[in-house]
Structure formats: C-alpha cells, structure tokens
C-alpha cells in the first residue's frame, strides 16, 4: 500500500490508474478508523479497481471550542486497517498542502449548510464541503464513499457535487453499530462507561421511530414526541436536535414518506453524538388504505365488519381481505 503525502502525489497516482482504465474509489476520513470505516473501504474495493483512503483531520470543520486538538490520531493503526480491507493507497496530506498560505476560497452550500448539524455548529459544513471538494479535485475519483451516520453531511455533499458539476458518484453505506446498538463513531472513545450507557438513548430513539413508522404512523408530531419521551427519561443527555426532515433539503416535514430522514444529535457529557434512520417502511406508502388479512375468527374478535351469517359464508375461505370498522368513516358504521 502506498502512502501519498501531497496533492501532486495523489493526482499522479490517480491519473496513472485512470489512464490504464482503472476506476478510483475514494473514502474520505479523519482517521481513528473503526469498523464503520472498514465497511466503507470494503464497499469501495468491491466496486472500484483502486481505493484510496484519505486521513486528514480537517481544521476548517471544527469550531473554536471543539475537539480539533484532541481528536484521536492513530495513523499506524489506520493504515493497517485500511490495507487489510483493500485500500491501495493512503492520502495523508499536511494542513499546509490542502490549505496553502493565503488561501481564501471556501465552498458554502447555502441553506443546507445551516440546517441540523450546521445550525449548532456554524461553519462546520462550509469546512466539510471545502475539504471534500479539494479531495475530489485532487483524487479525481469515480466514486466517493460516505456513511449514512453523517446523513446531513451527505445531503450537503450531494448538493455540492450536483451544483459544481463534479463527475463523482456519492455512495452512501449503512450505519454500523456496536452490539448494544450504539452507532460507531471515532468520538465514542471519549465516553465513560456510564456515559456510554446513557448514549444508547440515541439508538433507542431511532429504533422507536422506525418501529412506529413500520406500523404506518406518519405524523411528525407523533414520531418526534415518541423520541422526546425516551430522551426525557435520560436527563443527563442534552438534546441538540431531534428532527424529521426531507433528506434532500433537510427541511422539516409534517408527515413521513419513504425516504424521510429521522435524525438526532445530543451531548453525552462533553461528547456530541449523532444518529439517524431513513424511514422506508412499506407501511408509509398508503397508510390510510392498508388492508389487513385476518381469519374469520380473528375478524370477529377484533371487531371487524360482521360475523359469517351462515355455514356457507363460513366456508368462503379462511383468509379474506377486510377493513376494520374502526377505520371506516363514521357515516358508514351501522
């Protein structure tokens, strides 16, 4: 595996492979790699001829009181993991190489950059969009791989890529979780055992909202209240935001449809964590017209339209499509 330290080296590496007809997959990271990053590298290796993993703790996406200085840096371990998962190269530039002296140009995706994480971390998405655009220009990848855990970031980068006509496909990979449900994050290392236990409220809220959506519940007010109730039981966890939004615009919605994003961010001690789910249950597609399959006995027990009136009706098949009385307009009730 090659270690590339400058933009010039990365560009030369990429163009040599592209001229030979090989596709390039880029996995942008800030290092401190874990199993979630490993899944991105595997996905890239499965669909691209050559994979490069960037390791760069980007100063422009951190606020003045955030954890830039203490963000975990584990370069040797990161290289070993990346190579074991199929990466052909590591790009590890200096700050000076990506941000030359006197640089004044930034990429700001207006509107989107001020929503969700952008609202509580001013300038964060400006820094993300700027560094990722620089990586795209330097690496010239065919595909770039990101985790769904950073769903708001994905929305910003999709918009940026479209607006700037960049020939890069954004590939989003599923969230990877620990056995207890906590979404993997390089910042989980900051958590004490007690804080880690409290942090599980984020994944519990995600699961609760997914479960309600699976039953056909679409109302944002109901879904968000269910999440808030779970957080209320863990007062030590401070909510940053709990939101139900359109994934493309990050604007709030009143009702969920397939593809709606439920997202939450919270502070567990001093550590800010995020989690989310893309709601895709079939039950959201036509919730007012869902039909239920029940045996005659089940329909009788649950108050469905009517009992079989004679033996002939009882033989009309043990499973029928029927609509509960409680779901009919009141004018149709007998």
Choosing from 17, 34, 37, 124, the catalytic residue is: 37
Half-sphere exposure of residue 273, counting CA atoms within 13 Å on the CB side? 26
- How do beta strands 169-173 and 237-245 pair? unpaired
**CB proximity list for 278: less than 8 A, separation 6 or greater:** 148, 151, 247, 259, 260, 261, 262
**Tell me: the pLDDT tens digits for 30-52?**
999 999 999 999 999 999 999 99
Q: Is the pLDDT assigned to residue 293 strictly greater than 80?
A: no
**pLDDT tier at 333, thresholds 50, 70, 90:** very low
DSSP state of 59: G
**pLDDT tier at 224, thresholds 50, 70, 90:** very high
More confident residue, 176 or 283: 176
Mean pLDDT throughout 228-235? 98
Question: CATH assignment of 2-173?
Answer: 3.40.50.620
Fold of 186-284: 3.30.1300
Q: Where are the domains of the chain?
A: 2-173, 186-284, 291-332
Active site residue 228: no
């Amino acid at each position: 595996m090659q270690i590339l330290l400058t933009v010039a080296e990365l560009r030369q590496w990429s163009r040599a492979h592209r001229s030979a007809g090989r596709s390039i997959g880029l996995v942008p990271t800030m290092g401190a790699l874990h199993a979630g990053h490993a899944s991105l590298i595997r996905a890239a290796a499965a669909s691209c001829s050559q994979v490069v993993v960037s390791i760069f703790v980007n100063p422009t996406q951190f606020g003045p009181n955030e954890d830039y200085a203490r963000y975990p840096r584990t370069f040797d371990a990161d290289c070993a993991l990346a190579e074991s998962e199929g990466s052909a190269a590591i790009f590890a530039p200096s700050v000076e190489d990506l941000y030359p002296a006197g640089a004044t140009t930034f990429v700001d995706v207006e509107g989107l950059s001020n929503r969700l994480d952008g609202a509580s971390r001013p300038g964060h998405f400006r820094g993300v969009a700027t560094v990722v655009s620089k990586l795209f220009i330097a690496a010239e990848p065919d595909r770039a791989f990101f985790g769904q855990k950073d769903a708001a970031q994905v929305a910003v980068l999709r918009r940026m890529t479209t607006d700037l006509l960049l020939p890069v496909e954004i590939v989003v990979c599923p969230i990877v979780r620990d056995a207890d449900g906590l979404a993997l994050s390089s910042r989980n290392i900051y958590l004490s055992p007690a804080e880690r236990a409290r942090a599980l409220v984020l994944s519990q809220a995600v699961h609760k909202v997914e479960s309600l959506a699976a039953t056909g519940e679409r109302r944002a007010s109901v879904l968000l209240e269910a999440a808030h109730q779970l957080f209320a039981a863990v007062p030590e966890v401070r909510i940053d935001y709990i939101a139900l939004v359109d994934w493309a615009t990050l604007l709030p919605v009143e009702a969920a449809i397939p593809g709606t994003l439920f997202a939450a961010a919270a502070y567990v001690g001093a550590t800010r964590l995020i989690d989310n789910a893309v709601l895709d249950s079939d039950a959201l597609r036509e919730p007012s017209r869902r039909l239920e399959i029940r045996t005659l006995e089940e329909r009788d027990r649950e108050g469905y339209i009517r009992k079989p009136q004679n033996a002939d009706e009882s033989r009309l098949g043990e499973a029928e499509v029927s609509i509960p009385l409680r779901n009919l307009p009141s004018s149709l009730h007998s």
